[in-house]
Amino acid sequence: MAAKPKLHYPNGRGRMESVRWVLAAAGVEFDEDFLETKEQLQKLQDGNHLLFQQVPMVEIDGMKLVQTRSILHYIADKHHLFGKDLKERTLIDMYVEGTLDLLELIIMHPFLKPDDQQKEVVNMAQKAIIRYFPVFEKVLRDHGQRFLVGNQLSLADVILLQTILALEEKIPNILSAFPHLQEFTVKISNIPTIKKFLEPGSKKKPPPDDIYVRTVYNIFMP
The closest of 108, 100, 11, 110 to 56, measured between CA atoms, is 11
Q: What would the pLDDT profile of 142-170 be if each residue is shown by its tens digit? A: 998 999 999 999 999 999 999 999 999 99
Question: Is pLDDT above 90 for 203?
Answer: yes
Q: What is the pLDDT of residue 1?
A: 62
CA distance 83 to 65: 21
Report the pLDDT averaged over residues 108-121: 94
Q: What would the pLDDT profile of 4-49 be if each residue is shown by its tens digit? A: 999 999 999 999 999 999 999 999 999 999 999 999 999 999 998 8
φ/ψ of residue 10, rounded to 5: -60, 165
Instruction: Give me the DSSP letters along 107-125.
Output: HHGGGS-HHHHHHHHHHHH
Q: What is the pLDDT of residue 121?
A: 94
CB 130 within 8 A of CB 189: no
Q: Where are the domains of the chain?
A: 6-79+198-210, 86-190
82 Ramachandran zone, left/alpha/beta (phi>0; psi -120 to 50): alpha
Dihedral in degrees, nearest 10, Cα atoms 25, 74, 168, 208: 100
Please identify, in words, the CATH class of the domain defined by 6-79+198-210.
alpha beta
Which CATH number fits the domain 86-190, given the four candidates 1.20.1050.10, 3.30.565.10, 2.60.120.10, 1.10.10.10?
1.20.1050.10
Question: Is pLDDT above 90 for 171?
Answer: yes
140 — pLDDT class (breaks 50, 70, 90): very high
- Distances from the Cα of 102 to the Cαs of 59, 62, 105, 129, in angstroms? 27, 32, 6, 11
φ/ψ of residue 170, rounded to 5: -95, -35
CA distance 112 to 22: 27
Q: Give rounded-to-5 percent helix, strand, coil for the chain.
A: 60, 5, 35
